[in-house]
Amino acid sequence: MRISIVIFDDFTDIDLFLMWDLFNRVRLPEWDVRIVGEKSHHISATGLITATHGPIEDANQSDVVLFVSGRGTRTKIHDKLWLSRFNLNPERQMIASVCSGALLLAALGLLAGKTATTYPTTKQLLEGFGITVEEKPFIAHGNIATSGGCLAAQYVAGWVIEKKADKEWKDLVLKSIQPVGEGLKFSDAPELMKLYGPSAKVSVV
């Protein structure tokens, strides 16, 4: 079970790192999360240098492909060489976007005939692809989903984890990042050790 998160220069920091952190909380032996891009490193919108684990083509062999957002999407929707490296298939892959990542799904022809959501500042641009944009945090049509607003990445993660792991993992992972007293309780500590035990990928927070 491989999840590829696609990045590019000028990506929005939190849209990558929130999904990355959530997916890494799932402790299943075959669970493989990677960041892919066209360079060995990409620079985020705030200037953070982030290494990739593999090339764009890794996405084509993944069970789940996720597109982050950022100003870089405005360049990438016109980058035919970059777009041509993707060979995605919603029949066998779950494919989703956060915020302006929806522009990339549109540019790849994956949103044709579907409704979608995106960040407020990119609504018009997405409509320019002939797509009906709805004011919702998350919209899924079969194996293709879009989300709008950085924290809506939780819906994307939940959608994937429930389908590729199970509802128990989904509920536990999403609960594990909620504020204490607002979804997370001190009495949840024993259950949380399932995420943070000795062999966990993510350490105890």
Q: Which residues bind a second copy (CB under 8 A)?
A: 10, 12-15, 17-18, 20-22, 24, 45-46, 48-51, 69-72, 74, 99-100, 117-123, 133, 135-138, 147-152, 154-155, 176-189, 192-193, 196, 201-205
**Residue-wise DSSP of 66-118:** EE--STHHHHHTT-HHHHHT----TTT-EEEEETTHHHHHHHTTTTTT-EE--
Q: 93 vs 188, which CB is nearer to a second copy?
A: 188
Q: 86 vs 119, which CB is nearer to a second copy?
A: 119
In the complex, least distance from residue 175 CB atom to a second copy, rounded to whole angstroms:
9
Q: Using DSSP bridges, classify how beta strands 144-147 and 138-141 pair: parallel, antiparallel or unpaired.
A: antiparallel
In the complex, least distance from residue 91 CB atom to a second copy, rounded to whole angstroms:
28
In the complex, least distance from residue 186 CB atom to a second copy, rounded to whole angstroms:
5
Could you tell me the sign of the dihedral formed by the alpha carbons of 187, 192, 198, 203, in that order?
negative
| Burial class, 46, CB count within 10 angstroms (exposed 0-12 / middle 13-18 / buried 19+) | exposed
In the complex, least distance from residue 93 CB atom to a second copy, rounded to whole angstroms:
23
